[in-house]
Amino acid sequence: MELLKRKIEDEGTVLSGQVLKVDAFLNHQIDPVLMLEIGKEFSRLFAGEGVTKVLTLESSGIAPSVMAALEMKVPVVFARKQKSLTLTDNLYVERVYSFTKQQTNEVTVAKKFLSADDRVLIIDDFLANGEAALGLANIVKAAGAEVAGIGIVIEKSFQPGADKLKAAGYRVESLARVASLDNGKVTFLNNSVSEEDTHVQLV
């Protein structure tokens, strides 16, 4: 998605060979017009999948997911991250390890919001090691529902997440695929899913 790649080039910050900071438009400050375009792109990519629900993880997944769900006219559910839980009777719970933050969160979804006939599109802001997306996919399976696909805003293709998810049989579509962050510079893979050049005025 050219619009997203340009925004990453213009406003992203490479903090190291591993870390790309996009808090100017995705993770802390959010560009809502870009989010709408991202939502339209996910909707276009997964149009044939019969999606009935979007599932994401708080907080940075919410904005792109709400826009995708708006385009698809389905509800979103955002899984909650919690340090520890006592009452879990009505919840699906997965333990998800974050390599970036070096901590494990319990990720939860209320059972009443996923049913066995749901076809669920999982959306997340970043894909690195794939732990979060796999945790969400496990919750979908625990509900007896199907994963319709996994939509990622920014994939760090030099980390193993995308390969892990594909090996597990999931369709993964990433709107920007970062090949490398070496030498303080973002290098994209050529084969990002959409090469249209939109002329949208971002904020």
The strand pair at 172-180 and 91-98 is best described as unpaired
Q: Which of 115, 71, 121, 66 is nearest to 92 (CA)?
A: 115
**Whole-number Å distance between alpha carbons of 105 and 125:** 17
Nearer to its own copies, 136 or 165 (CB): 136
138 marked as part of a ligand binding site: no
- Please name which of 98, 79, 85, 72 lies closest in space to residue 139, comparing C-alpha atoms: 79
The nearer residue to its own copies, 62 or 168, going by C-beta atoms, is: 62
**Residues 96, 133: Cα–Cα separation, whole Å:** 9
Indicate the residue among 90 and 191 with the shorter CB distance to its own copies.
90
Residues at the site binding its own copies, with contacts judged by CB under 8 A: 23-25, 28-33, 35-36, 58-59, 62-63, 66-67, 69-70, 73-78, 80, 109-110, 113, 203
105 is in an annotated binding site: no
Question: Does 190 belong to an annotated binding site?
Answer: no
17 belongs to an annotated ligand binding site: no
Q: Which residues pair with 78 in a beta bridge?
A: 56
Q: Please identify, using beta-carbon distances, which residue of 79 and 175 lies nearer to its own copies.
A: 79
Binding-site residues for 5-phospho-alpha-D-ribose 1-diphosphate, please? 128-132
Binding-site residues, please? 20, 27, 128-132, 156
